[in-house]
């Protein structure tokens, strides 16, 4: 929902700041030309905007610096990226592991990650009167860490039949059974982007871009491994798919 809120917040910018004099008009022959300022340098502003909108000290971050080179109806592009995924709560999920007539223990699991990557790709450009859109694809290579942990909390039933947090189990073995794992991974993957360019002047533009991506993580080593309850698989590769990061890129053309 936060991503869609950012889109709606940027709609007034599109209508108020767009200058059609910097967008190549579509002709009957669908011909394209090399732009006079063919080099693009840009930064991703979405972490700053997300911090202002959500008013949270911790949120998912994607920092990017990018370069593009125009070749008429397409751009070649390269970017350096830092991504950090932070849980918005103290845990991702939990499950009951021990119950009695008056108490219950829950095990809580949490996973965060951060990594750097470099991406190479291209984007196809389409001009429509005063608007330019593009679809692109990148291959990515990177290196990063996944940080996981688990812990336990105890709850006791009260006179009304509700379970409330209890501090009376501080010496219970489960309260002292905590797991922690920090693993290093090589990363490969693909992303697909859907973008809209808003021209602010002859040399500056803002790009709104949604970027779904697929990552494949190749296990490298464990930096920390504490697992008293055998919850973790010690070695292994895995993949994931993220529906999309909303990038807000400020770009300078020269």
Domain locations in the chain as residue ranges: 2-87+113-147+184-253
Q: What share of the chain is helix, strand, coil (3-state, %, to 5)?
A: 15, 60, 30
Q: State how far the Cα of 212 lies from the Cα of 178, in Å rounded to an integer.
A: 34
User: CB under 8 Å to 223, separation ≥6 — which residues?
Assistant: 145, 182, 183, 184
Cβ–Cβ under 8 Å, residues 72 and 38: no
Would you write out the chain's pLDDT as a tens digit for each of its 254 residues? 444 444 444 544 444 444 444 555 444 444 444 578 899 999 999 887 765 655 555 567 889 999 999 999 999 999 999 998 876 677 888 999 999 889 999 999 998 989 999 999 999 999 877 679 999 999 999 999 999 999 999 999 998 889 999 988 888 999 889 999 999 999 999 999 999 999 898 899 999 999 999 999 999 999 999 999 999 876 689 999 988 788 999 999 99
Whose tokens are 């190479």? That residue is 120
pLDDT score of 194: 96
Q: Which residues pair with 39 in a beta bridge?
A: 69
CA distance 46 to 99: 45
pLDDT of residue 40: 97
Rounded Cα distance between 98 and 174, Å, is 9
State the architecture of 2-87+113-147+184-253 in CATH terms. Answer: Beta Barrel (2.40)
Cβ pair 220, 188 in contact under 8 A: no
In DSSP terms, 224 is beta-bridged to: 182
Neighbours of 171 (CB within 10 A): 7
Element of type H or E holding 51: helix 46-54
Cα 1 → chain centroid: 14
Measured on CA atoms in the order 5, 10, 15, 20, is the torsion positive or negative?
negative
Q: State the pLDDT at residue 24.
A: 53
pLDDT for 3: 46
What pLDDT score does 232 carry?
A: 87
Give the residues across from 111 on adjacent strands.
148
Structure confidence at residue 6 (pLDDT): 47
């Amino acid at each position: 929902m936060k991503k869609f809120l950012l889109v709606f917040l940027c709609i007034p910018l599109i209508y108020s700041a767009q200058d059609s004099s910097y967008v190549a008009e579509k002709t009957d022959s669908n011909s394209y030309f090399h732009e006079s300022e063919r080099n693009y340098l840009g930064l991703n502003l979405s972490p700053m905007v997300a911090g202002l909108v959500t008013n949270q000290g911790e949120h998912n971050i994607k920092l990017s610096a990018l370069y593009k080179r125009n070749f008429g109806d397409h751009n070649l592009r390269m970017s350096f990226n830092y991504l950090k995924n932070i849980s918005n709560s103290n845990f991702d999920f939990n499950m009951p592991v021990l119950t009695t007539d008056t108490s219950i223990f829950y095990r809580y699991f949490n996973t965060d990650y951060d990594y750097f990557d470099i991406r190479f790709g291209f984007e196809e450009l389409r001009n429509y009167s005063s608007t330019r859109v593009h679809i692109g694809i990148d291959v990515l290579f990177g290196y990063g860490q996944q940080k996981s942990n688990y812990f336990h909390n105890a709850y006791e039933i009260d006179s009304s039949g509700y379970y409330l947090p209890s501090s009376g189990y501080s010496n219970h073995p489960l309260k002292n059974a905590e797991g922690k794992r920090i693993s290093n991974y090589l990363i490969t993957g693909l992303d697909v982007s859907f973008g809209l360019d808003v021209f602010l002047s002859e040399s500056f533009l803002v790009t709104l871009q949604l970027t779904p991506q697929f990552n494949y993580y190749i296990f490298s080593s464990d930096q920390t491994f504490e697992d008293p309850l055998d919850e973790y698989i010690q070695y292994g590769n895995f993949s994931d798919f993220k529906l999309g990061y909303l990038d807000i890129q400020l770009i300078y053309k020269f």
